[in-house]
Structure 1
Amino acid sequence: MATPPAFSICVYCGSRPGSTPAFAQTAALVGRWIGEHGGQLVYGGGRGGLMGVVADAALDAGARVVGVIPRALVEREHAHRGCTELLIVDTMHERKRLMAEHADAFLALPGGIGTFEEFFEAWTWRQLGYHDKPVGLLNQDGYYDALLDFLRHGVGAGFMDEGQMGMIAANAQWQPLLEHLVVSAGFPAPHRLGAI
C-alpha cells in the first residue's frame, strides 16, 4: 500500500513557459522540492508551459501528482496523461473546487489570467471562511511587484485592509515560501536537503 503524502500543495501557474528560462527552472525546483519532501502536487492537469514543468519535476522526484482539467481544455492545454491521477471535469468551477479539496495549501507561480483568477479565488475563499489554508504568491524576479503595489493601493483607498493582506504570503524566494506554506498548514517543518 502506498504511503500517503506528507502534505499536498496546489500550484497555480502558467500554461505558457514565460519569456525567460528562469521561470521554468524555478517551476522545476518547486516540483522537485515537493517530491523530495514526500508531498503531493495538485495542479491544473496540463502538459504545456510551467504546468507541465512543475508536474514532470514532481513526478521525477517521486511525488503523487493530481491533475484536474476541464474536458474543454484537454486538447488546448494538452492534458498530462502521466499524472498519478488525472481528473477530467465538466467546468472550471468543478476544477477549482476539486483542486482546493485536494490541497493543504495554495501557491501561485508566475502565470497569466487563469493563474490570477485561481489565486484570487483561493484568497477570497480564505477571507470568507470557506477554508483556512495558507495562500502563497511567488514573486519571482519581481513578476508580481506591480500587483502587490496595486493591492497596497487598494488598502490605501479603503477597499481592503491589512488583515486581508495578511492572509497571503508573498516571497521572491521559492524555498522559504514553500516551507512557510507547509508549516502554516500545520505540518512539521520540512527537513532541509541542502542546496537543491
Structure 2
Amino acid sequence: MRVSVFCSSAPDIPKSSLDLAFAIGEAIGEQGWDLVWGGGKASMMGAVAKGARSKGAATIGVIPQPLIKLEFEDKDATQMHVVSDMRTRKAKIEDLSDAFIALPGGIGTLEEFFEIWVGSYLKFHSKPIAVCDPVGFYDPLRTALDHLAEHNFMKTGQAELVSWCKDIPSTLDAIRIK
C-alpha cells in the first residue's frame, strides 16, 4: 500500500511537529507500506520521508520543477517524479496513493487535504482519508467545519469521509484498507 502524507514544509515549526512527522513515517514503514509525499527534504516533509526510510519504506516524491530549489528536493527518495506545476503534483500524488494522512500544516497542506476530501465526496476516488492531530492543532478548523455543517453549508455524508485521529495507531487503523 502507498500512503500519501500531507504536511508542512515551513522552517520554524515546533520540534514536536517534526517528531510527529518522523514517527508517522516510521509507522508507515513498519506496516510494510510505502510513502508518497511532496518530495521535499525540509521540515516535516523531510522528517516523514526520513522516518519512512528508517523502517525500509520506499519514498516516492512528486515535486514541481519550479519548487525543486525552494523545497529542497530530497535526493534520497526512492523515486522522484518531477512535474510541471502544483495541479499536476496533486493529481500525481492522488494517482500514486491508496490512502491519505494529513498532519499539521499551513495553507498548502490544507489545500491538498481539502482537494482529496472533495474528490472523495464527488466519488473521483474512494481512498481513505485521516487527519493525525495528537495536540489539537486542527481543533479551530473542526469548529469552523461544525459551524458550516450547522448552517447547512456541508452536505450530508461529507464529514464522515474523514477520520479525525488523536494518535498514530488510530490513524493507521483509519486508513487500513480492509
Instruction: Calculate the TM-score normalised by the size of structure 2.
Output: 0.96
**Shift, 1:18, TM fit:** 5.3
Task: String of CA shifts for 1:94-118, please: whole Å, max 9, x gaps.
Answer: 1011101111111000011100000
Partner of 2:127: 133
- May I ask how many residue pairs the two structures share in their alignment? 178
Aligned counterparts of 2:173 and 2:73: Cα–Cα separation in 1:
29
Aligned counterparts of 2:173 and 2:78: Cα–Cα separation in 1:
24
Over 3 Å counting, the alpha-carbon distance change for 1:17 and 1:33 in structure 2 is farther
Task: String of CA shifts for 1:74-94, please: whole Å, max 9, x gaps.
Answer: 000000011000110001111
Aligned counterparts of 1:27 and 1:128: Cα–Cα separation in 2:
29
| C-alpha RMSD of the superposition | 1.1
Aligned counterparts of 2:140 and 2:172: Cα–Cα separation in 1:
22
Partner of 1:91: 85
**Shift, 1:162, TM fit:** 4.5
Instruction: Report percent identity of matched pairs.
Output: 37
Q: Is contact 1:10-1:106 (8 Å) kept?
A: yes
Q: Is contact 1:70-1:95 (8 Å) kept?
A: yes
Letter in 1 for 2:25: G
**Shift, 1:140, TM fit:** 2.8
Aligned counterparts of 2:59 and 2:34: Cα–Cα separation in 1:
6
Unmatched tracts of structure 2, length 5 or more: none
Q: Is contact 2:27-2:168 (8 Å) kept?
A: no
Letter in 2 for 1:78: F
Partner of 1:25: 19
Unmatched tracts of structure 1, length 5 or more: 1-6, 187-196
Q: 3-state DSSP class of the match of 2:41?
A: coil
1:64-103 map, 5 Å: 64-103=58-97
Aligned counterparts of 1:141 and 1:17: Cα–Cα separation in 2:
19
Letter in 2 for 1:32: E
Partner of 1:181: 175
**Shift, 1:161, TM fit:** 3.3
1:26-41 map, 5 Å: 26-41=20-35
Q: 3-state DSSP class of the match of 1:163?
A: coil
Task: String of CA shifts for 1:137-196, please: whole Å, max 9, x gaps.
Answer: 1223110000001001010011113411001000111221112211xx33xxxxxxxxxx
Letter in 2 for 1:36: E
1:44-63 map, 5 Å: 44-63=38-57
Instruction: Calculate the TM-score normalised by the size of structure 1.
Output: 0.88
Extract structure 1 runs of 4+ deviating beyond 6 A.
Answer: none
Q: 3-state DSSP class of the match of 2:135?
A: helix
Aligned counterparts of 1:46 and 1:141: Cα–Cα separation in 2:
24
